[in-house]
A and B are shown apart, each in its own frame.
Chain A
């Protein structure tokens, strides 16, 4: 060695989340092999993700064989709520993690008997930003917003809106008590993602749930 050094710039074009994306691809292939349609449900804390899944699982009882993965920083409360409606529920504790990553989904799936399962719901950690960029091997991403969050929520979280295959607007039963401007919300969504369906729902009253379940059936059937 001469001791001389030179500074060189080495071009390396590679996706930063390549490791996550690789695991997600293998999950996607495995789910496809088993005929499982997977939904990554993303919404803010308090938007009603768990309540929506409770209502959904109740409606699917006897008709579908779902499994559920539910991510939270801490506690098993959501998992316990959902276990009343489904016997294949895994709670994933993310500790300080603000989102689920593919490796956590792969490990959680390893703990469930997937025989006969046809739907997989993944309730992501309550957060509108971090979870969007991490591929989990899902078939579709569903963005859940709610009237109580305010009508500018979609505009403030463009990544979820552009990435979503469906936008659900929850708590529509509260509309008489709030100043939520639904046309403004929908106009913002349309600017970011012109073709995404937007469905108004109420997990409490059941309004709009038929349309959500019909969308799910249609997409799971490959339409």
Chain B
């Protein structure tokens, strides 16, 4: 279950980037479909790794990027949750391409107004 390793890596990054005086509300990440990350397992791992830390309770928002399917017969291109699909033109083997991005995108925090 690599979701746990990834949740730990996210926690380390958040601890490095979040301002000391801020309360972390949400962490947003982007995940390419190739990574094969199981959303439920990732959320479960996230809850487990942040328990008892300063960011305990922060939510994890996952932007899961889909497959891009490209048909070489008719030239159509679309996104899909699954890689092996038929094209409307009848081609049964359009090419699936997916990304393997695994990026931290943003951290949402509550900060004290210092004005």
Bound Cα distance from A105 to B6, whole angstroms: 18
- Shortest Cβ gap from B83 to chain A (Å): 6
Residue numbers in A under 8 Å from B28 (CB-CB) = 9
Evaluate contact between B36 and A191: CB separation under 8 angstroms.
Answer: no
Chain A: residues with Cβ within 8 Å of the partner, total of 40
B contact residues, range: 35 or more
B-side contacts of A188, CB under 8 Å: 84
B49-106 residues with Cβ-Cβ distance < 8 A to A are 83-84, 93, 95-96, 98, 100, 102-106
Asked, given contacts A1-B114, A10-B17, whether A17 binds B102 with beta carbons under 8 Å apart, the answer is yes
Partner of B109 from the list A7, A11, A98, A158 (CB cut-off 8 Å) is: A7
Query: For the complex, is A8 an interface residue (Cβ under 8 Å from B)?
Result: yes
Instruction: Choose among B1, B6, B93, B113 the residue that contacts A16 (Cβ–Cβ < 8 A).
Output: B6
Q: Which of A5, A9, A163 contacts B113 (CB 8 A)?
A: A5
Expressed in whole angstroms, the minimum distance between the Cβ of B17 and any Cβ of chain A is 5
Those of A30-51 within 8 Å (CB) of chain B: none
| 6 interchain residue pairs of minimum CB distance | A130-B2, A4-B113, A159-B34, A5-B110, A9-B108, A16-B102
Give 26 pairs: A residue, B residue, CB < 8 Å, sorted on A: A3-B112, A4-B113, A7-B108, A7-B109, A8-B108, A8-B111, A9-B108, A10-B19, A10-B107, A11-B106, A16-B13, A17-B6, A17-B9, A18-B9, A19-B12, A98-B2, A130-B5, A132-B36, A133-B102, A155-B84, A157-B36, A162-B98, A163-B34, A187-B93, A191-B83, A191-B84
